[in-house]
Structure 1
Amino acid sequence: MASSNGWFVWALLSAMFAAFTAIFAKIGLEGIDSDYATLIRTFVIIAVLGGFVYFTGKWSNPLALPPRTWLFLTLSGLATGASWVCYFRALKIGEASKVAPVDKLSLVLVAIFAFAFLGERPSLREWFGIAMVGAGVIVLGFKR
């Protein structure tokens, strides 16, 4: 994917796999604690990704990484873990068709945080799309 839009294909694939994640998790959560299910899921991810990195020759000495990289990857890992615990708990008690879209409020928050901390400047058209996602989350959050 060398084109300037290659990111879009990968992002679409990410969305597809995220959708399967919600469906498979909702089914898999029957009769099991959500935190324990998150732990099992994490072991599967470690095994699969570890194998992928090793067999594609991408493994390198992690101790050679700069401290700043370790700090932010650790913070990212902690945030991911917290997100997964919350997501699985929400799936356990809520409907996947409602939980997953609300979880995507992260799209709005990423845009705001990227603006504030990374200096990214979405266009007016992009802000409009981001606002539409936010509006959708608000609609889903209100009961009739």
Structure 2
Amino acid sequence: MWILFALLAAVAAAVVVTLSKAGIKDVDSSLAFAIQSVLILVISWTVVISQGNLPDVTRIERRVWIYLVAAGVLTCVSSLLSFRALKLGNASQVSPLTNFSLVFAVILAVLFLKEKVSWQLVAGAVLMAAGAILIAVSRD
């Protein structure tokens, strides 16, 4: 089931890139991100409340809070940088480079989460990196 959710997330992310690029044409990229962030906040807390998970907030350990807050800050930084890149470049070239994060995620998962490395994992990461670079440097 995780594969289905991952693929649906990829499709949603592709639509987000396309809509964001169209939306920031005549708007500052930081302002556009701030508008989207308000909606993300409202929708995500609505889901938490509707699922009955709000009381779980008090049971989150301090260490987990630190991880989640750090990840939240980095999510904002990443999104602000992505929006700025979209404002300056073509979505078809910016998106593959921002998705280079997949390669970095594999490296970090191996180093810090001690996930296992296989030749397929290495080959896939190399192919993803090569594809992202090839698309990003392509000419119009």
The TM-score normalised by the length of structure 2 is 0.93
Look up the match of 2:69: 74
Structure 2 CA distance for aligned equivalents of residues 92 and 138 of structure 1 = 19
The one of 82, 97, 100 equivalent to 1:87 is: 82
1:137, distance to aligned residue in structure 2 (A): 2.1
Question: What are the superposed Cα offsets for residues 23-81 of structure 1, whole Å, 9 maximum, x if unpaired?
Answer: 11011112111011111110000111111111121212524321101100011001100
1:127 maps to what in 2? 122
Residue 143 of structure 1 deviates from its aligned partner by 5.7
Q: What residue in structure 1 maps to residue 32 of structure 2?
A: 37
Structure 2 counterpart of 1:20: 15
Distance 2:130 2:73 in 1: 28
Tell me the TM-score normalized by structure 1. Answer: 0.91
The number of residues matched between the two structures is 139
Q: In structure 2, how many angstroms separate the alpha carbons of the residues matched to 1:119 and 1:30?
A: 42
Letter in 2 for 1:66: E
Out of 112, 119, 122, the position equivalent to 1:117 is 112
Identity of aligned residues (%): 33
Aligned partners of 2:59 and 2:5: how far apart in 1? 28
2:93, 2:137 within 8 Å by CA — same for their partners in 1? no
- 2:44 equivalent among 41, 45, 49: 49
Change (3 A) 1:97 1:142: closer
Inter-partner Cα distance in structure 2 for 1:116 and 1:136: 23
The gaps in structure 2 that reach 5 residues or longer are none
Q: Match for residue 9 of structure 1?
A: 4
Give RMSD over aligned pairs: 1.4
2:101 aligns with one of 92, 98, 106: 106
The secondary structure found in structure 1 opposite 2:54 is coil
